Amino acid sequence: MEALLRPIYQERASDSNTLGIILIEKIEEVSPITDTFDSILFIITKDSPIPVFTKHYTYNDKKAALHIITEKQIRKWFIVGANPKLVGWMINGRVIFDRNEYVENLKKELQDFPVNGRNVRMGIEFAKLSRSYMQAKVFFEQLNYLDAYNHIVNSLHHLARLAIIEKGMHPEVMVWKQVKQLDPSIYKLYDELVSSGETLEKRLELLFLASDFLIHSRTKDGARHIIEVLSSKEYWTIQEIHEQEELKNYSVDLEVFIEFLVDKGLILIEKQPTKSSHILHRYYKVKE
């Protein structure tokens, strides 16, 4: 199908705003990497009023998708880990246009995964993990086992992604295939949860016991980024934390993560008087 798509990507390549073009072709009958399409044209641009623009094409029984994404949007997704298939496109796709080796440099940056970027990703992933895990425990205590199961599977998924990031790699679409090689202990937890012959209650009970240790052992690494940011001054209000530029990517998980770290003793509560004698301001500080 590449010959049919050639006029489309050649036109885009002639645009000075285009930084690179990658072609991804379906290998298996059902391909999660290509969203079931036969071909994907992934085009990176310097800038655009529309950060993500998509078109679909068809020819006989074949179908193709065109994705034009700005450099800024791609980097944001890399930071927050919101689009794992993008990693697969970068790693497995064929570069058919590369302005000033932009794509090759971006791929190298992706594969090197610098420590600072890794710490940010680990923090965001750990924040999501802490939310899912806390919700799972609440539902379990309420005897809502199916809801607890749903959230513990979600928390294991975040734990798996965290383990992959720790190894200096980006999580891809098939996370469990990656983590089976990188951290078999987490894969075993997941496998026992979904395939054990025990009752659901017993499976969840055993998983919580095993997960507590795995999560506790990763807390300092997962919290490293947010602790470094909050160490820049003595006290913080929650609004100041929300407005801190480096912490905005934590999004809706930020407050739950803060409370998780308070519970773990890494962040302390500082109480300050208000105009009322019955209520106090709640400030946050990093434990020295």
**pLDDT on residue 81:** 81
- CA 138, chain centre distance (Å): 24
Check: CB of residue 275 under 8 Å from CB of residue 237: no
C-alpha to C-alpha distance for 239 and 259, rounded to whole angstroms? 14
CA torsion, ordered 239, 245, 249, 250, to nearest 10 deg: -40
The residue ranges of every structural domain in the chain are 2-111, 115-286
Would you write out the chain's pLDDT as a tens digit for each of its 288 residues? Answer: 777 888 888 999 999 999 999 999 987 766 678 888 999 999 999 999 999 999 999 988 889 999 999 999 998 888 888 788 888 898 889 999 999 999 999 988 888 887 888 899 999 999 999 999 999 999 999 999 999 999 999 999 999 999 999 998 888 878 999 999 999 999 999 999 998 899 999 999 999 998 888 898 999 999 999 999 999 999 999 999 999 999 999 989 999 999 999 999 999 999 988 888 889 999 999 998
Question: What CATH number should be reported for the domain whose range is 2-111?
Answer: 3.30.460.10
Query: For the segment 182-218, what is each residue's pLDDT rounded down to a tens digit?
Result: 999 999 999 999 988 999 999 999 999 988 888 989 9
Angle CA(189)–CA(151)–CA(35) in degrees, nearest 5? 85
Q: Spell out the long-range contacts of 211-218 with Cβ–Cβ below 8 A and sequence spacing 24 or more.
A: 211/133, 211/152, 211/155, 211/156, 211/159, 214/159, 214/185, 214/186, 214/189, 215/129, 215/130, 215/133, 215/159, 216/264, 218/126, 218/159, 218/162, 218/166
Q: Phi-psi category of 101—alpha, beta or left, where left has phi over 0 and alpha has psi -120 to 50?
A: left
Domain spanning 115-286, CATH architecture: Up-down Bundle (1.20)
CA–CA dist 122, 237 (Å, integer): 24
Measure the CA dihedral 70/71/77/78, to 10°.
Answer: 160
> Considering only CA atoms, which of 137, 119, 129 is closest in space to residue 159?
129
